Each structure stands twice: as C-alpha cells, then as structure tokens.
Amino acid sequence: MTEPIASAVPAFPSATAPDEHDTHAHAEEVLLIQEPRVWQDDGWTARVMKNEDDDGWAVAMTLDGEPEPALVGPWTMGRDKKNPKPLDANAFSVLVKTAFEVRRRHEQQLHAQLHKSVTVDGEQGRIRVTLQIVPDEYDPHAFLRAFDELGEALAEVRVDPAFKLNAASAATWIGNAYRRPGGH
C-alpha cells in the first residue's frame, strides 16, 4: 500500500501580507487528504468505495459542509481488475468539474420549480404574471404577482404553493381584478 500524500494549506488564505503584530496573521493549517481512495481539495472530497450493487467501484463527490454527495458514479477498475484505479489530481479535477455541473443543473431545476412566469394579453396590454413559491418548512406559501410591460408592479397576492400558474389561470386572476384566487 502506498503512503498517503498530504499537503498543508492555509484554511483562510490572505491576499495581503500579514502584519507581524496581528494575532490572526498565522492562519490555521488544514491537512488535506490526497490518498488513492480519498482526495480533498478546492472544498470537495472524492471517496472511492465498493459499489454495493455489483462487484465494481463507485466514487462519491461531496462539497464541504454538505450532508449528501453531489455526485455518485461508477469508478474505473485498476490494472489488476480487482481494486479501483487510484485517485490523482487529474481525475479529481474532472470529478470536481462534473460535480459542479450536476449541482448547477440541480439549482437551475429547483429555481425553475420555485419561480414560474407567464405573459398574457390583458386590457392594459401585455402583463407578466409570476409565481414565487416559498418552501418554508412551517408555512409554505407562494406569491402571485403581476407586472406591466415596463416591469411596474400591478398586484401581489399570497396564494397556496400548489397554485397552478398557466396562461388561463393568469388571465382569470387578471379578469377578477387581481383578487386572491379561491376567494380567501
């Protein structure tokens, strides 16, 4: 088995030279693990583990502070066809890029689920109606808002987060003088 490679990097790198009288001048050193099955850098940790579903290996990429991995995928077998290929800086770099993209797509999807918008033609011209869902643990709700062509707010009401925003529901809301849907 090979010896782990570890490097010490400052936990909080400073862009300016430290003042010799500054008590915070010496940043705490953090030891990064860079081993064949665990590699840490740039706020990410890659862990190669046995795939429970078959005889292969998997790699999990976890962002520091997150409870769940952002990415879990198959990992390549080593030359002996028994053990996993060891992690290295190049493989880790590719994994970070992939995990970052997965997180970015997830955030975009979540944003799209929580922020909806339609534009309808009304008596005052084109009106953009938005629905912003607030997924509060104790009080989930949403805001239905109307804006004119210049982006000026016309109306806002609080609605149930299950409200279905589409062209027909927006037109009905506008036609009802922006009264809260459902009569509440």
Mean pLDDT calculated for residue range 147-174: 94
For residue 30, name the pLDDT band (cuts at 50, 70, 90): low
Spatial distance between the Cα atoms of 67 and 33, rounded to a whole number of angstroms: 19
Count helices and strands in the chain by DSSP H and E runs: 2, 10
Instruction: Enter the pTM of the model.
Output: 0.59
Sequence ranges of the domains in the chain? 5-87, 115-175
Question: Residue 10: is its pLDDT beyond 50?
Answer: no
- Inter-CA distances, 105 with 63, 85, 101, 122, Å: 15, 28, 6, 34
Query: Which residue is listed with tokens 């770099």?
Result: 93
Mean pLDDT calculated for residue range 77-81: 86
Spatial distance between the Cα atoms of 140 and 134, rounded to a whole number of angstroms: 6
131-149 tens-digit pLDDT: 999 988 899 999 999 999 9
